[in-house]
Amino acid sequence: MVNAQMLSGYLDNSFNALMVSGGGESGQPQNGGTDTTLSGWKDLPMELLLRIISVAGDDRMAIVASGVCTGWRDALGWGATSLSFSWCQDHMNELVISLAHKFTKLQVLSLRQIKPQLEDTAVEAVANSCHDLRELDLSRSFRLSDRSLYALAHGCPHLTRLNISGCSNFSDAALIYLTSQCKNLKCLNLCGCVRAASDRALQVLKLRQHTLREPLFNLYYLDAGHSLQL
């Protein structure tokens, strides 16, 4: 995992590259003589810092940067809208709990796992902080229970895409409740959700489509991964 020293070194290199490309090797501006002087990455505007981190394409760097100082934490908290923890091989649950309150503007979040790590407490932390969430991947979260679906139903009502494939502990009652609260939900992956994807749940989803006259609902169900449009 990246650390603060690696992040600082990367930002130093990026800053130097920006100065060279802008013709300002001494750190002096090339914009007609304004008084702004950039002597290092700490002087960079937050918008530029966000751009540098996004270009790096590594969500781990954004997570480390959020712990450097209050200014960076606030900038990333307001500027980051997409984040993935899928790289995390250990202690994902604790990491998500400790960071959820920092990234309150997330719209896309991936918590996909190779081995089961995530527990209800982490999903509840996300639901309590990330109320603008639109897309969430919880696939292979074998430890999650109905608590997670109820938390999402209350805390993330704007969900449009949800992947809970492999979450075999979810019940059809919790799924039905979630879809009744998340009225913008358009794509739902239920592959391997043998309890949640019951005939009763599928009939309720189908009835909801006809009653509300909403656009077709893309549903991926059971182990075959077939797409069903209700």
Q: What is the DSSP letter of 110?
A: E
Span 39-46, average pLDDT: 58
Q: Tally the C-alpha atoms within 13 A of residue 55's C-alpha that lie toward its C-beta.
A: 10
Closest CA to 129 of 169, 153, 100: 100
- pLDDT, one tens digit per residue, over 109-155 is 999 988 889 999 999 999 999 999 999 999 999 999 999 999 999 99
Domain 78-212 class in CATH: alpha beta
Span 82-101, average pLDDT: 92
- Domain boundaries defined on the chain: 45-77, 78-212
- Beta bridge partners of residue 82, listed in sequence order: 108
pTM above the 0.75 mark? no
- pLDDT, one tens digit per residue, over 97-108 is 999 998 899 999
pLDDT for position 31: 46
pLDDT above 80: residue 70: no
